[in-house]
Structure 1
Amino acid sequence: MTISQQKLTVMFRIEAGCLGPQGISHVASFCKHAKAELEVLYPDFIDWHVTPRSDKSLPEISYSIGGRGLNRAQATRYLALFGHLIDEFEHAVFDHLPEIIDHYFGR
Protein backbone atom coordinates (compact mmCIF):
# COMPACT_ATOMS: atom_id res chain seq x y z
CA MET A 1 0.00 0.00 0.00
CA THR A 2 1.40 3.40 -0.94
CA ILE A 3 1.15 6.51 1.19
CA SER A 4 -1.54 7.96 -1.08
CA GLN A 5 -3.70 4.86 -0.42
CA GLN A 6 -3.61 5.37 3.35
CA LYS A 7 -5.66 7.95 5.18
CA LEU A 8 -3.94 10.74 7.00
CA THR A 9 -4.93 10.79 10.67
CA VAL A 10 -5.50 14.34 11.83
CA MET A 11 -5.51 14.73 15.61
CA PHE A 12 -7.40 17.92 16.42
CA ARG A 13 -7.12 18.93 20.06
CA ILE A 14 -9.86 21.25 21.33
CA GLU A 15 -9.25 23.78 24.12
CA ALA A 16 -12.10 23.78 26.64
CA GLY A 17 -11.85 27.59 26.78
CA CYS A 18 -13.09 27.96 23.20
CA LEU A 19 -16.46 26.71 24.48
CA GLY A 20 -16.87 29.52 26.98
CA PRO A 21 -16.58 29.72 30.76
CA GLN A 22 -18.26 26.33 31.26
CA GLY A 23 -16.23 24.73 28.49
CA ILE A 24 -14.63 22.11 30.71
CA SER A 25 -18.05 20.54 31.30
CA HIS A 26 -18.78 20.44 27.54
CA VAL A 27 -15.44 19.63 25.91
CA ALA A 28 -15.74 15.81 25.89
CA SER A 29 -19.19 15.75 24.28
CA PHE A 30 -18.24 18.63 22.01
CA CYS A 31 -15.29 16.61 20.69
CA LYS A 32 -17.67 13.82 19.63
CA HIS A 33 -19.91 16.37 17.93
CA ALA A 34 -16.96 18.08 16.21
CA LYS A 35 -15.60 14.76 14.93
CA ALA A 36 -18.96 14.00 13.30
CA GLU A 37 -19.01 17.41 11.62
CA LEU A 38 -15.38 17.27 10.51
CA GLU A 39 -15.75 13.81 8.97
CA VAL A 40 -17.48 15.38 5.97
CA LEU A 41 -14.30 17.34 5.19
CA TYR A 42 -11.91 15.38 2.99
CA PRO A 43 -13.42 11.95 3.75
CA ASP A 44 -11.41 10.25 1.02
CA PHE A 45 -8.04 10.83 2.63
CA ILE A 46 -8.52 12.13 6.21
CA ASP A 47 -9.31 10.14 9.36
CA TRP A 48 -10.32 12.66 12.03
CA HIS A 49 -9.58 12.23 15.74
CA VAL A 50 -10.89 15.01 17.98
CA THR A 51 -9.97 15.14 21.65
CA PRO A 52 -9.75 17.67 24.48
CA ARG A 53 -6.42 19.47 24.65
CA SER A 54 -5.52 18.74 28.24
CA ASP A 55 -1.75 18.80 27.63
CA LYS A 56 -0.80 22.29 26.45
CA SER A 57 2.59 21.03 25.28
CA LEU A 58 0.86 19.12 22.47
CA PRO A 59 -0.04 20.98 19.28
CA GLU A 60 -3.65 21.75 18.40
CA ILE A 61 -3.25 19.74 15.20
CA SER A 62 -0.91 16.83 14.57
CA TYR A 63 -0.66 14.28 11.80
CA SER A 64 0.11 10.58 11.51
CA ILE A 65 -0.26 7.67 9.12
CA GLY A 66 -0.67 4.15 10.40
CA GLY A 67 0.11 5.24 13.95
CA ARG A 68 3.41 6.83 12.92
CA GLY A 69 3.66 10.55 13.63
CA LEU A 70 4.48 12.88 10.78
CA ASN A 71 6.39 16.12 11.05
CA ARG A 72 4.99 19.20 9.34
CA ALA A 73 7.08 18.69 6.20
CA GLN A 74 5.82 15.13 5.80
CA ALA A 75 2.21 16.18 6.38
CA THR A 76 2.72 18.97 3.84
CA ARG A 77 3.88 16.47 1.21
CA TYR A 78 0.98 14.14 1.96
CA LEU A 79 -1.63 16.88 1.60
CA ALA A 80 0.07 18.04 -1.62
CA LEU A 81 -0.65 14.59 -3.09
CA PHE A 82 -4.31 15.57 -2.91
CA GLY A 83 -3.82 19.13 -4.13
CA HIS A 84 -4.00 20.84 -0.74
CA LEU A 85 -1.65 23.24 1.01
CA ILE A 86 -1.20 22.56 4.71
CA ASP A 87 -1.69 26.20 5.75
CA GLU A 88 -4.95 26.44 3.80
CA PHE A 89 -6.07 23.08 5.21
CA GLU A 90 -5.42 24.20 8.80
CA HIS A 91 -7.06 27.58 8.24
CA ALA A 92 -10.15 25.83 6.85
CA VAL A 93 -10.34 23.64 9.97
CA PHE A 94 -9.99 26.58 12.36
CA ASP A 95 -12.39 28.71 10.29
CA HIS A 96 -14.98 25.91 10.51
CA LEU A 97 -14.68 25.64 14.31
CA PRO A 98 -17.03 28.57 15.16
CA GLU A 99 -19.76 26.98 13.01
CA ILE A 100 -19.30 23.66 14.80
CA ILE A 101 -19.52 25.43 18.16
CA ASP A 102 -22.72 27.23 17.08
CA HIS A 103 -24.27 23.91 15.96
CA TYR A 104 -23.29 22.26 19.22
CA PHE A 105 -24.94 24.98 21.32
CA GLY A 106 -27.95 25.18 18.97
CA ARG A 107 -27.31 28.74 17.81
Structure 2
Amino acid sequence: MEELINSAKALNAKKLVVLCRLEPGCLGPDGIDHIDAFCQVAERALVNFNADICHWCLAPRLDKSLIEIQYSLAGKVLSRDKAIKFISSFEQDLDVIEERFEDKLTQLINQYIARKR
Protein backbone atom coordinates (compact mmCIF):
# COMPACT_ATOMS: atom_id res chain seq x y z
CA MET A 1 0.00 0.00 0.00
CA GLU A 2 2.78 2.43 0.92
CA GLU A 3 4.47 1.63 -2.40
CA LEU A 4 1.30 2.62 -4.24
CA ILE A 5 1.09 5.92 -2.34
CA ASN A 6 4.75 6.69 -3.06
CA SER A 7 4.36 5.95 -6.76
CA ALA A 8 1.28 8.22 -6.90
CA LYS A 9 3.27 11.00 -5.23
CA ALA A 10 6.13 10.49 -7.70
CA LEU A 11 3.72 10.73 -10.63
CA ASN A 12 2.16 13.93 -9.27
CA ALA A 13 5.63 15.43 -8.76
CA LYS A 14 5.97 15.31 -12.55
CA LYS A 15 2.66 17.07 -13.18
CA LEU A 16 1.95 20.76 -13.28
CA VAL A 17 -0.32 21.57 -10.35
CA VAL A 18 -2.75 24.31 -11.28
CA LEU A 19 -4.45 25.95 -8.31
CA CYS A 20 -7.47 27.95 -9.37
CA ARG A 21 -9.02 30.19 -6.74
CA LEU A 22 -12.69 30.84 -7.40
CA GLU A 23 -14.65 33.89 -6.36
CA PRO A 24 -17.73 32.86 -4.33
CA GLY A 25 -19.81 35.25 -6.46
CA CYS A 26 -19.43 32.92 -9.45
CA LEU A 27 -22.13 30.80 -7.79
CA GLY A 28 -24.55 33.69 -7.37
CA PRO A 29 -25.41 36.02 -4.49
CA ASP A 30 -25.31 33.20 -1.92
CA GLY A 31 -22.12 31.75 -3.38
CA ILE A 32 -20.23 32.17 -0.11
CA ASP A 33 -22.49 29.46 1.34
CA HIS A 34 -21.69 27.03 -1.48
CA ILE A 35 -18.14 27.73 -2.65
CA ASP A 36 -16.39 25.15 -0.43
CA ALA A 37 -18.72 22.33 -1.48
CA PHE A 38 -18.56 23.39 -5.13
CA CYS A 39 -14.75 23.37 -5.13
CA GLN A 40 -14.73 19.82 -3.77
CA VAL A 41 -17.30 18.56 -6.29
CA ALA A 42 -15.69 20.34 -9.24
CA GLU A 43 -12.19 19.17 -8.32
CA ARG A 44 -13.41 15.56 -8.43
CA ALA A 45 -14.99 16.23 -11.84
CA LEU A 46 -11.62 17.54 -13.11
CA VAL A 47 -9.53 14.54 -12.01
CA ASN A 48 -9.16 13.28 -15.59
CA PHE A 49 -8.90 16.70 -17.23
CA ASN A 50 -5.44 16.81 -18.90
CA ALA A 51 -4.49 14.28 -16.23
CA ASP A 52 -1.38 13.23 -18.16
CA ILE A 53 0.36 16.53 -17.40
CA CYS A 54 -1.84 18.55 -15.02
CA HIS A 55 -3.41 18.17 -11.61
CA TRP A 56 -6.18 20.68 -10.93
CA CYS A 57 -6.91 22.09 -7.48
CA LEU A 58 -9.79 24.42 -6.73
CA ALA A 59 -10.12 26.65 -3.70
CA PRO A 60 -12.31 29.59 -2.66
CA ARG A 61 -10.73 32.98 -3.34
CA LEU A 62 -11.63 34.64 -0.07
CA ASP A 63 -8.46 36.77 0.01
CA LYS A 64 -8.41 39.07 -3.04
CA SER A 65 -4.66 39.63 -2.62
CA LEU A 66 -4.04 36.02 -3.72
CA ILE A 67 -3.64 35.43 -7.43
CA GLU A 68 -6.44 33.61 -9.23
CA ILE A 69 -4.28 30.94 -10.89
CA GLN A 70 -1.07 29.59 -9.39
CA TYR A 71 1.22 26.99 -10.95
CA SER A 72 3.59 24.65 -9.15
CA LEU A 73 5.74 21.65 -9.92
CA ALA A 74 7.14 19.25 -7.32
CA GLY A 75 5.99 21.61 -4.57
CA LYS A 76 7.66 24.71 -6.03
CA VAL A 77 5.65 27.66 -7.27
CA LEU A 78 6.30 28.50 -10.93
CA SER A 79 5.83 31.69 -12.89
CA ARG A 80 3.39 31.55 -15.79
CA ASP A 81 6.34 31.64 -18.21
CA LYS A 82 7.89 28.55 -16.60
CA ALA A 83 4.51 26.79 -16.62
CA ILE A 84 4.24 27.54 -20.35
CA LYS A 85 7.70 26.05 -20.91
CA PHE A 86 6.82 22.94 -18.93
CA ILE A 87 3.56 22.41 -20.85
CA SER A 88 5.25 23.06 -24.19
CA SER A 89 7.71 20.24 -23.42
CA PHE A 90 4.66 17.98 -23.93
CA GLU A 91 3.92 19.79 -27.23
CA GLN A 92 0.84 21.40 -25.72
CA ASP A 93 -0.23 25.02 -25.26
CA LEU A 94 -1.10 26.35 -21.79
CA ASP A 95 -3.49 28.94 -23.24
CA VAL A 96 -5.46 26.20 -25.01
CA ILE A 97 -5.52 24.02 -21.89
CA GLU A 98 -6.72 26.94 -19.75
CA GLU A 99 -9.38 27.87 -22.29
CA ARG A 100 -10.72 24.29 -22.23
CA PHE A 101 -10.52 24.35 -18.41
CA GLU A 102 -12.54 27.58 -18.25
CA ASP A 103 -15.18 26.08 -20.56
CA LYS A 104 -15.40 22.98 -18.36
CA LEU A 105 -15.51 25.11 -15.19
CA THR A 106 -18.34 27.22 -16.63
CA GLN A 107 -20.24 24.02 -17.41
CA LEU A 108 -19.69 22.74 -13.85
CA ILE A 109 -20.80 26.08 -12.34
CA ASN A 110 -23.97 26.09 -14.46
CA GLN A 111 -24.76 22.49 -13.47
CA TYR A 112 -24.18 23.26 -9.79
CA ILE A 113 -26.38 26.38 -9.86
CA ALA A 114 -29.15 24.46 -11.65
CA ARG A 115 -29.08 21.71 -8.99
CA LYS A 116 -29.21 24.05 -5.99
CA ARG A 117 -32.38 25.77 -7.20
TM-score range, shorter chain: 0.7 to 0.9
Aligned counterpart for 1:56 among listed residues 54, 64, 80: 64
Identity %: 39
- Asked if residue 11 in structure 1 is aligned to residue 25 in structure 2, the reply is no
Give deviations 1:6-59, integer Å, cap 9, x for gaps. Answer: 011110111100000000000000000110111121112212211001121222
**How many residues get paired?**
103
Q: TM-score, normalised by structure 1?
A: 0.87
* Greater gyration radius: 2
Alignment partner of 1:56: what SS? coil
Q: How far off is 1:65 after superposition?
A: 0.7
Q: How far off is 1:102 after superposition?
A: 2.4
CA distance in 2, matches of 1:104, 1:40: 19
Q: TM-score, normalised by structure 2?
A: 0.80
The gaps in structure 2 that reach 5 residues or longer are 1-12
The gaps in structure 1 that reach 5 residues or longer are none
Give deviations 1:48-96, integer Å, cap 9, x for gaps. Answer: 2110011212222110011100001100011112222122222211122
| Bigger helix share | 2
